[in-house]
Every structure is written in structure tokens, then in C-alpha cells.
Structure 1
């Protein structure tokens, strides 16, 4: 065989092998995915499919809370497992919850249960058909242990999906208890009484209110809390819902009415420590400390239940004796008491509603699930049949009692708005309180963000 023929045959053989390799497709490889843990990205091989029955008796939960909160939640799990020794519940907390839950859902590998702090994410997954609606026994637990507003809040398009457990509320008004009582002031129970108290305090030489809204890129959210809480006290919840959806505009009479009531306090230079011009420049964590200076710089401060973290250390160590609190009083007293809240919703993913998973969801709706966490302090629960004595401080008992009496609840409005509207709300509120825009101009700017 001559050299030329040999070369031709070799080339032909290589060509045939190449075609066969192409037809056969790529060599099988292990598919990899990203698993987000804390702030590190770890690449792991995709686990082999779980065989039928492998997870029977186990419940896997993914959530965002860690540290002391995770420790407290594990006490809740221990209480459940004591009642159900044949079930093993495993909780995993991660700072990258939003990313990881998205990755796992898209990969077809969701946990049994996820604890969502974001209501918008629950609504999105429910509408995509990724979640299991609550079943009859779970709904019965809701009806027995919560005010009706909580089940409504956990519903998407009228269908309940989430079971609320730990929650928080906004609209609390805080004060220096010894100084307040020494001055002879009384806790107001109506808006008129609150405004009368504000006028009385002006004559004390100490400003009635202290306020600061600076929060970096999020500056302005503090005023949105004021507006949202007043909206819930002057309008029915359906008006609030339409406003959040921007079906009612910011420059509408409804919103202007609420904002005007807020302005009665925040734009009165004699009502706010340092005057209105300091509000946008003051970090929101500073005013809570001013309540406890000697003498106080101000008498009252409106903030959510997390504000105790910003009190001086000696005050935090003696909350019951040093701190007083009451809920922002009603304005239109014909309306039901409605709380502005946040909290964790526990939802079940499609195909994961095994009997043991259902049992745990139902357990979260009972007072038995409240006791282990409430006893640790620092968290509140809306269950109407809980024993308030489980909370270690009188302050927590006062707040928990108020939460159990709320006829309705709504999420933070700005958090529920479209992102561009939320950002415009923050900016418009800041421009208004800074004096850079009139109220009408600021409201028009906010509405323009949705055009």
C-alpha cells in the first residue's frame, strides 16, 4: 500500500470516528449547581433523586433567621418532636435565603417548608403553582387560634397559603416611663388625646416628639411608616390595599388626608426636637436614645417593636421599669383596629405535603408552638390563645396583648409596592420633610415614578 493511500485511509477513519462521536453526544458528566451558603458560593454535585419513602418521617425547613433566633426556633422544633417522636424536623438558616430558595425552586429541589419574610415572594410562588394551599385542618387551626385578619393576610387571591408564627408590628409610641409618670402625663387612648398631650408637652420645655429618618440609601422609610399607620387609621383596609397597588394615587384626597395628619406633628417646629429641618439629617437610630437622656430631649418616639435594640444598654437591661409603650391610637374610631405588621409565613411546596409536613404546619398555629420561643424573649406572636405570662417582660406582654386584639393586619405598604414606587415614596417623603418639595410636588413626583 503506497503512502498516499495510507494517509487517505487514516483521514477517512478519523472522519468516521468524529461523526460517531458527534452522534453519540457529549460524554455524560455530573450536573453541578450553585449552593449559596452564607456569603460563600460552594459548588456541589446535584444529589441523586430521592427514592420513594426515603424522607418519610422527616421535615426539611429553609429560612432566613439564624443565631439566637435559630436557637429559639429549634426549641419550637423540640416541643413538636416531643409530641411526635416519630418525626424528625431539620431547619437550615441562611443569610442568602432569597437566592438559595430561588435556585432550589428552579432546580426542582425545594425544601418541604420555607419560612418567608417577604410576602411578595409567597404571592409569586403561589400564582406560579409552586405552593400547596392550606388544607381544611390547617384552616381550622387558623380559625381557632388567630384573629381573622391573619388568615386573610396569608392568602393569595383569596386562598390561604402561609401559616404565620413569629411576627412584629409597627406604630408603637415609646416613652421614658419614670420621666413620663413623674410629669403626670397619661397614656392617650384616642388621636385627639394624643394631640392634646402633644400640646401639653410643648409647655414643659422638652420637645413632645423626636424623629430622625436618615438611613443611607433607604432614607425616608421612617416617614413611610408614619403615613402607612395613619392610612390604616383613617381609611378601611380596602383603600389601603388599592393605594399599595397604586390603584389609588398618592395625590388623591385619601392619601393627602393621611399625610396631612402626619404633617400636623412632623412639620410643627415646636413639636419635634431640633425642629423639622433636622429630621432628614438625623440617623433613625439616634432619637430612641434621646428619650433616656437626663433630662430627656423629647417625650415620645414612634417606631417598630425592634427599637429596644437602640436604647442605651442600662435601659435595655431594665426595660420594664424604664420603658413605656402604647400603640398609635385610633383616629376614625368606627374602623376596626388594624396593625401594620411583618412576619414569617411558613409555606409548603407542591408535592411536599406529606402527613408529617402537614402536622408541623398545623403545630405552628397552636399556642404550644409559641411557648418555647416566647419564653426566650425578643419575639412576639399573634396567637389569641397564648398565655401572656410566657413573655419574660411586661413590655413584651403589653405588645403581645395588643397584637392578639387586632381585628385586621396589613403588611408594610411601601414594602409591598412596586420597587420603583417604593423608592419614589422614600425619596418623595425625604424631599418633603427636608423642605425641598411641597407636599403636592412630592406626591406628584411619587406618582410619576409609575408612568
Structure 2
């Protein structure tokens, strides 16, 4: 929980920080903007296929990273965005004899499953050297299975943030809440001012797992969190009942959610962000999600740090929660270019390219914080790096993908159902336990 304290201190000053892209170094791919920190081999004529879930602005940003790799090595890289159920996609490609060279997985559970199916290649000595030099041990360990290093966590996330429309808060006379009780009171205050307080991207089930995890970590504590993540306690545990009951305080009041439950379930994550910061009459005043929401905010006219501000997810229990996420790059082929790309992704050179564009946080401790485009993102990134090894990874991402990471199934679907019927706590618990038991048994 040390990260919670660091994040609270770091974010305390974020509200007044203006957008200051003029301070961002220009030129160069490295975090310092002063040249290259990793040497890559010449790979003229080699071709790579990379798959990840990123589309839209995230795809554009990652493509710039791959273009720099092409420029340095002479290799040709093709990027293909795919669905969230990455293991299903990879399984189909492997069965057809045409696996991609590099994939970016979103779940440690998916990484472990891919290793167990003998799909992945360990990282090279060069890639491992970059990891040892640039990454805290905790992030290295997340990319390892059975003591063998298989992955490079290229993109991380602080998933315990609430972004808010400063004008809507000011008009309502609302202040940044620090506790769940204050959060609910703030929501009622904003509602009374004529603005719907909370935007929820319920069409994407993963956003609802993030709501649950933040409430659960703060209310039940890290030990219970770790136990539930490993299915060492059941979803029928009283701690889950308490967390669902707390979430129900918000989900059970349609006037507090943009469009009510039905509207939220038709709203995808990007729209849940942009509708909070679009126009003189936004559809909501607040939206909960990670630092990556900033890239969606940048699609509006709102300026981060001025029009769009942020506060830590409110404390439900004694401490405010901090949940992290991340995308881990893994190798599925033995090509020299495959390992060279992993080496590049483990360097501050690659991280600096995306960091300068916003919507990105890296666990790479060698990345110069000046690379981030504004004070808000610098402080979020600093909190993540300063935390070292003390963080809690997204719970659903640690579970078998069939339960914690598949659209329309498992936890995603059941929490969507709970959003529609938040009074059915016991029924939701029973269904979650049945699905979890099945998934862990198969895994």
C-alpha cells in the first residue's frame, strides 16, 4: 500500500498544474531527447508482425514507436490490432501455422497460460539486460514464469484515478473527495446543480472490474485482494458482499450515472471520457479510469490540468487504493528481429516516444520524467516509479482469461448484469463464484 501514500502525495498538487507541453524535450526517441541509449542490430529485409489491442490514438502512438524501430534496424514491422481475448486470437494463428512475432498481452494470467501452452520464447540476454537496468524487480517478476523471463512490460497504468470537469465542479461548488462517503456526497451535490455526476463506460466490461477492484482493495485490504485474485477465497466471501454493496450505492442511483444503467451499458470507454469534457453542457462531471484516459481527453478541447483535473480514487477503507495494469510484450518466434524489438521496448528510447504524446505511463525507471507532456502525467508516472515493487496489479488480469478477460463472459458480463440489477448482491456473488471455479479448474 506504499504506492497509495505516494500517489496521494503526488496527486495532491495535480489539480492546479497546467498543460506545459512547451517544457517537453523535442527530437530524439529517448527519455532525455538526447539520442539513443540502446544499440540495435541491422535487420535489413526482416519482417515482423506485432499484435496488440490498441486502436485509435493508442494505435497511432504505438505505430510511431514501431517506425523508430524500423528506422534504426531496417526491419519492416506490420501492426495488427486485435480483440481483447488475445489468447483465443493467438491460438487460432498458431493452429494455422502463422503466429505473429510479438504480441502484447494484457493479463499476467494470459502470460502464464501462453507459457504453459509452450507458445512463447524466453527473452534474449540483451532484452534481459535492458530489463535489469531499467525496471524495478516487481515489474520484471510480472513478466517471468517459473523463474524464466518471458515478457517486457512496455506500457503500465495507474488505474486508481478519477478525472473531472473543473468547470462542472466549480459551478456546483464541489471539492475533490478523499473518501467514498465524500465521493457520494459530491455526486449528489453535482446532481443537484443540474449535471449528471458520473460517466461509466459499461459497454466495456473491464471498466466495471476496475470499479470493483478499487473498492475491494481499499475496503478488504491487500491480503484479501491477493487471496481473491488467486481464488484462495471464494467470491461468496463476505468481503465481496461488502464491496458489491458499496458499488451498489452508486449503481443503484440511476440519476447519478450518465444515461442510467442502460445508457452506461451502451457507452464504450472512450466515449465515457470524451462526453465528460465535451461542450458547454457535458453529459457528466466525473469519469473513473486510469492515466490512459488522458489520451481520450486530448481528443476534446479540454486542457489537462486546467479544464480536466484528477484526484485519487477515494478511500473506502483506511487507505486509498492504487491498482495498476499493463501490457507485456512477448516473443512467439525465434527471429533476431523479434528479440531486437523486445530489447527496444525495454529501453527508455521506446518508452520516451509514446510518453511524449500522452496517454502513457511507463514502469521504466530510466525514462526522464520531463518527457511526459504535462505536470499531471509527470506526477502520475513519478508515483508509479517511486513505488518500486510495492503495488497491486489489476485483479482480473491475474485470473484466467476466460473469467477475467473475455468480452461478454465471466466477470465482465456478470458485473454488467450487476450494473443493471445492483440489488442482487447474493445472486451476483454465486454466479461469480461458479464462473471463477470453472475457469480456475480448467486453468
TM-score, normalised with respect to structure 1: 0.67
Given that 1:339 and 1:403 are in contact with CA atoms closer than 8 Å, whether structure 2 keeps it comes out as no
Aligned to 2:369: 388
- Runs of 5+ consecutive residues of structure 1 not aligned to the other structure: 1-53
Contact map agreement 1:62 1:114 (CA 8 A) in 2: yes
Structure-2 residue corresponding to 1:14: none
Residue aligning to 1:259 = 244
Conserved? CA contact 2:248–2:423, under 8 Å? no
Distance 1:101 1:179, change over 3 A: closer
Report what 1:116 is aligned to: 105
Q: Conserved in 1, the CA contact under 8 Å of 2:219 and 2:316?
A: yes
Q: Which residue of 1 aligns with 2:48?
A: 60
Structure 1 position 187 matched with structure 2 position 171: no
1:231 to 192, 216, 234: 216
Identify the structure with bigger relative contact order (alpha carbons < 8 Å, sequence gap 6+): 2
Matches of 1:140 and 1:387, distance apart in 2? 19
Larger radius of gyration: 1
8 A Cα contact 1:81 1:89, kept in partner: yes
CA shift, 1:226, in A, is 0.9
C-alpha separation in 2, matches of 1:116 and 1:298: 32
Name whichever of 137-146 and 286-295 sits farther off: 286-295
Q: CA 1:109–1:179 in 2, change beyond 3 Å: closer, same or farther?
A: closer
The CA distance in 2 between the partners of 1:444 and 1:384, in whole Å, is 42
Tell me which protein shows more strand as a share of its residues: 1
CA deviations 1:279-337 (Å, max 9, x no partner) are 24433356542566656665432134454576696535x344311122314555579x6
Structure 1 residue 339 corresponds to structure 2 residue 320: no
Counterpart for residue 288 of structure 2: 302
Deviations 1:243-269 (A, max 9, x none): 244442221023223223323433357
Between stretches 233-242 and 369-378, larger displacement belongs to 233-242
> Match for residue 369 of structure 1?
350
Partner secondary structure for residue 401 of structure 1: helix
- Residue in structure 2 matched with residue 408 of structure 1 by the alignment: 391
Q: Structure 1 233/139 Cα, relative in aligned 2: closer, same or farther at 3 Å? A: farther
What 5-or-longer segments of structure 2 have no aligned partner?
1-41, 439-443
Larger mean Cα displacement after TM superposition, 121-130 or 283-292: 283-292
User: 2:213, 2:162 → 1: CA distance?
Assistant: 15
8 Å Cα contact 2:69/2:341 also seen in 1: yes
**Are 1:448 and 2:437 an aligned pair?**
no
Cα RMSD after superposing both structures: 4.2
Residues 138 and 301 (structure 1), Cα distance of their counterparts in 2 relative to 1, 3 Å cut: same
Report how many residues are paired: 381
TM-score, reference length from structure 2: 0.68
Match of 1:131 among 120, 126, 132: 120
